[in-house]
């Protein structure tokens, strides 16, 4: 075995005295304790800071049925809960913001309690769930409601078969929370003033057609069960889906996708039927030598509390692996410091950082998007902060159905016009996929070009010509 350089450096030198022979020779300076702050998780009755929850006991707050029942689904109710905590101008701003939002509203008491109501404007959780009209910016002209073209790649309603060996099964269209930035705002949640949703409700017929299609395609090995959100499936439905898929010989891997641990970790601790059902599917999968895991969605370290840690410990004790997929968002996690803390905190509670998505081209949330350049900068900054298997890959989910591409793998990137061009040889060979940086990160001169429809094709064709000039 070859000694690594750090191992050889810690060996005592030939002229070391007796004391140095017995003390470790530090190769790095003592750690700044602030760098270990990611291990400090909020515990105690933090929810009692909200007047409406002042009398809520720990037992009530941990009860998932209480969380679900008290989740707020109407802007007027939400604003009534926080009215005494914020200035009137905030309420007015939020009312106007909700009027223009593509997503309906649902927030849990847990989530509301974690927002810093002394500074809600800049709070990373407020930014993700409560729109403020004053912060909204104009959509890039190339935005689309279903930018990933999931419906175009769906042989059965709610089953997207894009990658050779993987399918996305949208089992239902509701979630424990509704995120402003949702890429599936074309289907998830109830209709809003701006968007009439397509329906992907729980339906035995639709599910049966999905299983039939999966069984008919021997190349399909990997199924993502999402929605909507697997948290909203009843225990019996978790088992029904899990067992139906485990019975299909070609299915080797499946993941239940849920944002639940980030917005209502209580469910894992107190919805025993649901957690036990998931555990049984995982165990049956293990016996059949098939992998069943949970995929979740933390975006900011503040979403992780002592309750989350207890929930993740419970899953770990049951042998359930949890992976995370974050969305890079402006003002939420678009700094190396925040992303590093998030990754380290997730590692601390045994959640594997898996992907960070550059924000999809979703309408109505342009204020949240960042550029490909920002993603590359943050990736460079976080790589090396922990083990490689706990370091996320930063990806662009190529608009138009190219699938996830490593953010660095563009064929061409024009930082001035904000156009990046990707290819996906194993998914859709020969095609080019375009991502567009948000207008607010471009120069005024280029913003003027994007305001002129005649210029769009000029900029796009120039980027494509550059991309084509590097044939492989």
- Give the interface with ligand SF4 as residue ranges (CB under 6 A): 175, 177-179, 182, 184, 188, 227-229, 259
| Exposed/middle/buried for residue 54 (C-beta within 10 Å: 0-12, 13-18, 19+) | exposed
What is the nearest approach in angstroms of ligand SF4 to the Cβ of residue 227?
A: 6
What is the nearest approach in angstroms of ligand SF4 to the Cβ of residue 229?
A: 5
Nearer to ligand SF4, 223 or 439 (CB): 223
Phi, psi of 66 (to 5 degrees): -65, -45
Nearer to ligand SF4, 175 or 225 (CB): 175
Nearer to ligand SF4, 324 or 340 (CB): 324
Tokens of 310: 């207890």
Nearer to ligand SF4, 184 or 369 (CB): 184
Nearer to ligand SF4, 107 or 175 (CB): 175
Q: How many residues does the chain have?
A: 472
Tokens of 241: 């889906």
Name residues whose C-beta falls within 8 Å of residue 16's C-beta, 6 or more positions apart in sequence: none
Three-class HEC string of 278-303: HHHHHHHHHHCCCEEEEEECCCCHHH
- What is the residue whose two structure tokens read 């993987």? 166
Name residues whose C-beta falls within 8 Å of residue 167's C-beta, 6 or more positions apart in sequence: 159, 160, 161, 214, 217, 220, 222, 223, 224
What is the nearest approach in angstroms of ligand SF4 to the Cβ of residue 106?
A: 8
Nearer to ligand SF4, 171 or 459 (CB): 171
What is the nearest approach in angstroms of ligand SF4 to the Cβ of residue 472?
A: 35
What is the nearest approach in angstroms of ligand SF4 to the Cβ of residue 457?
A: 32
Distance CA 41, CA 255 (A): 27
- What is the residue whose two structure tokens read 């007796």? 18
3-state secondary structure of 420: strand
Nearer to ligand SF4, 333 or 340 (CB): 333
* Closest to 180 (Cα-Cα) out of 452, 447, 367: 367
What is the nearest approach in angstroms of ligand SF4 to the Cβ of residue 161?
A: 19
Strand partners, 256: 225, 294
What is the nearest approach in angstroms of ligand SF4 to the Cβ of residue 423?
A: 27
What is the nearest approach in angstroms of ligand SF4 to the Cβ of residue 400?
A: 20
Nearer to ligand SF4, 226 or 340 (CB): 226
What is the nearest approach in angstroms of ligand SF4 to the Cβ of residue 203?
A: 18
Name residues whose C-beta falls within 8 Å of residue 207's C-beta, 6 or more positions apart in sequence: 171, 241, 244
Distance CA 157, CA 175 (A): 18
Distance of CA 355 to the CA centre of its chain: 8
Nearer to ligand SF4, 94 or 103 (CB): 103
Tokens of 397: 């989910």
**Torsion of the alpha carbons at 411, 368, 39 and 61, rounded to the nearest 10:** -140
């Amino acid at each position: 075995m070859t000694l690594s350089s750090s191992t050889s450096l810690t060996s005592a030198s030939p002229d070391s005295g007796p004391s140095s022979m017995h003390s470790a020779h530090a190769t790095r300076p003592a750690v700044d304790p602030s760098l270990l702050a990611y291990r400090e998780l909020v515990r105690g009755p933090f929810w009692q800071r909200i007047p409406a929850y002042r009398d809520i006991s720990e037992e009530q707050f941990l009860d998932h049925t209480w969380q679900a029942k008290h989740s707020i689904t109407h802007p007027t109710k939400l604003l009534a809960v926080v009215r005494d905590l914020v200035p009137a101008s905030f309420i007015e701003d939020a009312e106007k913001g909700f009027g223009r939002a593509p997503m309906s509203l649902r927030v849990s008491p847990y989530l509301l309690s974690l927002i810093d109501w002394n500074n809600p404007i800049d709070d990373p959780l407020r930014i993700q769930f409560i729109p403020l009209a004053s912060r909204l910016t104009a959509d890039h002209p190339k935005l689309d409601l279903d930018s990933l073209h999931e419906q175009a790649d769906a042989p059965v309603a709610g089953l997207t078969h894009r990658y050779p060996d993987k399918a996305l099964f949208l089992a239902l269209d509701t979630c424990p929370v509704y995120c402003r930035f949702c890429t599936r705002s074309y289907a998830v949640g109830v209709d809003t003033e701006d968007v009439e949703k397509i329906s992907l409700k729980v339906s035995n017929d639709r599910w049966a057609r999905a299983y039939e299609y999966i069984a008919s395609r021997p190349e399909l090995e990997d199924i993502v069960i999402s929605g909507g959100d697997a948290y909203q499936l009843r225990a019996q439905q978790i088992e029904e889906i899990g067992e139906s898929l485990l019975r299909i010989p070609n299915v080797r891997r499946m993941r239940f996708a849920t944002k639940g641990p980030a917005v209502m970790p209580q469910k894992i601790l107190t919805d025993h039927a649901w957690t036990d059902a998931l555990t049984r599917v995982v165990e049956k999968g293990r016996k059949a030598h098939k992998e069943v895991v949970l995929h979740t969605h933390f975006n900011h370290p503040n979403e992780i509390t002592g309750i989350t840690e207890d929930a993740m410990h419970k899953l770990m004790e049951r042998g359930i692996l949890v992976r995370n997929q974050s969305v890079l968002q402006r003002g939420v996690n678009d700094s190396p410091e925040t992303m590093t803390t998030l990754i380290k905190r997730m590692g601390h509670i045994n959640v594997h950082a898996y992907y960070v998505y550059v924000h999809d081209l979703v309408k109505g949330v342009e204020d949240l998007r960042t550029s490909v350049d920002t993603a590359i900068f943050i990736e460079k900054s976080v790589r090396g902060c922990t083990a490689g298997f706990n370091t996320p890959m930063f990806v662009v989910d190529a608009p138009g159905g190219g699938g996830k591409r490593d953010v660095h793998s563009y064929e061409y990137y024009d930082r001035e016009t904000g156009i990046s061009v990707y290819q996906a040889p194993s998914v859709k060979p020969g095609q080019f996929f375009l991502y567009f940086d948000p207008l607010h990160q471009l120069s005024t001169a280029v913003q003027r070009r994007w305001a002129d429809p005649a210029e769009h094709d000029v900029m796009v064709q120039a980027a494509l010509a550059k991309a084509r000039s590097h044939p492989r």
